[in-house]
A and B are shown apart, each in its own frame.
Chain A
Amino acid sequence: MTETQLREILVESGIDLLKSNLVQGTWGNTSVRLDEKSMLVTPSGLDYLSLKPEDMAKVDINTLEWEGKYKPTSEKGIHAGVYSARKEVGAVIHSHPTYCSVFASAHIPLPVINDKMKNLIGGEVRVSGYGLPGSSKLCKNTLIGLDGRNATFMANHGVLCVGKDMKEAFEIMATMEECCKLYIEQMTCKITGEKEFTQEILDNFFIKNFSK
């Protein structure tokens, strides 16, 4: 695939993430491997809907030196770390969708809940250790959490998904959010004894148990 095509894929991925409610505003970031030494990443703080192929930053995976019109995401180190450690990975998505954020905030892993999840992600999704956004600690911990998996929760932060290409990384991100939501719904029914989930049941459970 040419660099131009990969830049277009990054533009499309941002729009798809927004449309699927997997990212909000300018948050999150995506990247694709360009070659052995470099990657293309989304710039920092720009609206996905206004991004153009030429806005993507080209970043050296080893040195993190970059070229382009805009500064790359501050999480570029994590993306680079993944491409260095996992040769089979061609695309990375980092985001903070709501249901994944529940697990990231509670530091609770997501058990395998269906075959699709097992096949795409490779097993239980672990919670990577905490680190400040953009820090090397966050980068190191995320890579540990991702070991042998295609997704990991980032403690108090969000989720990182990887795939052989952007299509697969996106499918993994969508599956993660879907499975997290399903698990919460199942747990709500288990705890409340209700047969079918509704938001009202969860809200009532919360009010009953958390009212001051």
Chain B
Amino acid sequence: MSKIIDSIKEYVSLLKEEGLCAETGDMVAVKCTDGYYRTSSTASFKEILDKDIIKVTNENSGDDIVANIFNARGDINIIMITHPQSICTVAKSGATIYAVLDDMAQIVGRNAKVVPNVQSSIISGLKRRNSTLIKDEGCITLGRTLNEAFTNCMVLEKAAKVFICTSVIGKGKKIGFIDAKLMHFVYKIKYSKKNQEQLAQEEM
């Protein structure tokens, strides 16, 4: 348990260092055998303490969105809800972020859509994707490991910033469907072993 708590604290610090979180409203959750650990809704990412990380068991999770995402996506172990600045701006606009850079195509995928802040829409938006923007809020990024969810968030924020900046000089040129699919596939395979190694380290 202490290893999970330390890992969560480490990634909360990284999110803070990279400017990817707001003062409140962010959350990191790590799945475990009988439920999940998460940062509490009152936790401040400015200074995260052991007491800010709580365990939610399958029995008491109720209609919790985190539990429902874990249930819908058996292949992922991590959920991050964050509010990076550029993602929040794009989320406010409702516009879809397309892969105009290969790091987004590789890590996030061909596009990232904005979904309404409704549980069913969010879960539907995350069905075949590891990230989605939430209207007038921030984003949810998923991963098999903390590093994967964190990297998704970092790359998505960069893509959002590039999208915003491009608006004053022209228009981003989308990467072709096949190339984007290929890049995402190769990335998943290439880093699969690395992620599995990290996952083994993060497991209790």
Instruction: Judge if B47 is at the interface, Cβ distance under 8 Å.
Output: no
Closest to B190 in A: A45
Chain A residue numbers with a CB within 8 Å of B93 are 206-207, 210-212
Please choose the segment from A34-42, A54-62, A112-120, A182-190 that sits at the chain B interface, where 4 or more of its residues have CB less than 8 A away. A182-190
Are A106 and B95 in contact (CB-based, < 8 A)?
no
- Contacts of B167 on A, CB cut-off 8 Å? 202, 205-206, 209-210
A106 to B162, CA, bound (A): 9
Of A105, A108, A212, the contact of B101 (CB 8 Å cutoff): A105
The stretch from B51-59, B63-71, B171-179 touching chain A is B171-179
Residues from chain B with Cβ under 8 Å of A107 in the complex: 170, 173
Interface residues of A in 5-50 (CB under 8 A from B): 24-25, 27, 45
- Report how far A183 CA is from B169 CA in the complex, Å: 9
B161 engages A157 (CB within 8 Å): no
Docked-complex contact A105 and B162, CB < 8 angstroms = yes
CB of A133 closer than 8 Å to a CB of B? yes
- Nearest A-chain residue to B88, judged by Cβ: A203
Q: Which residue of B lies closest to A191 (CB)?
A: B168
For residue A200, which residue of chain B has the nearest CB?
B89
> In the complex, how many angstroms separate the beta carbon of B193 from the nearest chain A beta carbon?
11
Does B100 contact A132, Cβ atoms closer than 8 Å?
Answer: no
B4 interface residue per 8 A CB criterion: no
Cβ contact within 8 Å between A25 and B154: yes
- In B74-128, the 8 Å CB interface with A consists of 85, 89-90, 92-95, 100-103, 106, 114
Residues of the A chain whose Cβ atoms lie less than 8 Å from the Cβ of B73: none
Q: Check B95 against A105 for contact (C-beta < 8 Å).
A: no
Chain A interface, number of residues (Cβ within 8 angstroms): 36
Residue of B nearest to A44 (CB): B190
Q: With a CB–CB cut-off of 8 A, which chain A residues contact B154?
A: 24-25
> Contact at A106–B89, with CB atoms within 8 Å?
no
Q: Which of B157-203 contact A (CB under 8 A)?
A: 158, 161-173, 175, 179, 182-183, 194
B173 partner, pick from A105, A202, A203, A210, beta carbons under 8 A: A105
Interface contact B169-A102, CB-CB below 8 Å = yes
Main secondary structure, interface of A, reads helix
Instruction: Count residues of B near A (Cβ-Cβ below 8 Å).
Output: 34
Chain B positions within 8 Å of A157 at CB level: 101-102
CB pair B173–A106 under 8 Å, yes or no, is: yes
Instruction: List A contacts of B40 (CB < 8 A).
Output: none
Say yes or no for A156: interface residue by CB 8 A criterion: yes
Contacts of B151 in A (CB 8 A): 25
Assess A184 versus B101: contact at CB under 8 Å? Given A25-B151, A108-B170, A212-B94. no
Query: Does A76 touch B at the CB level, under 8 Å?
Result: no
- A156 & B102 in contact (Cβ 8 Å cutoff): yes
Task: Return B1 CB to nearest CB of chain A, in Å.
Answer: 27
Q: Does A152 contact B (CB under 8 A)?
A: no
Nearest CB on B from A42, distance (A): 17
B92 nearest CB neighbor, chain A only: A207
Known A101-B158, A207-B92, A212-B94; judge A96-B165 contact (CB<8 A).
no
8 contacts between A and B (CB under 8 A): A24-B158, A27-B103, A107-B173, A132-B182, A133-B106, A157-B101, A184-B169, A199-B85
The 10 lowest CB-CB distance pairs between A and B, nearest first, are: A212-B94, A105-B100, A106-B170, A187-B168, A105-B172, A102-B165, A211-B93, A203-B89, A206-B164, A210-B95
**14 additional A-B residue pairs with CB within 8 Å, beyond A105-B101, A105-B172, A156-B101:** A98-B158, A98-B161, A102-B162, A103-B169, A105-B162, A106-B171, A132-B102, A133-B183, A156-B175, A205-B167, A206-B90, A211-B93, A212-B94, A212-B114
A residues in contact (CB < 8 Å) with B? 24-25, 27, 45, 96, 98-99, 101-108, 132-133, 155-158, 183-184, 187-188, 191, 199, 202-203, 205-207, 209-212
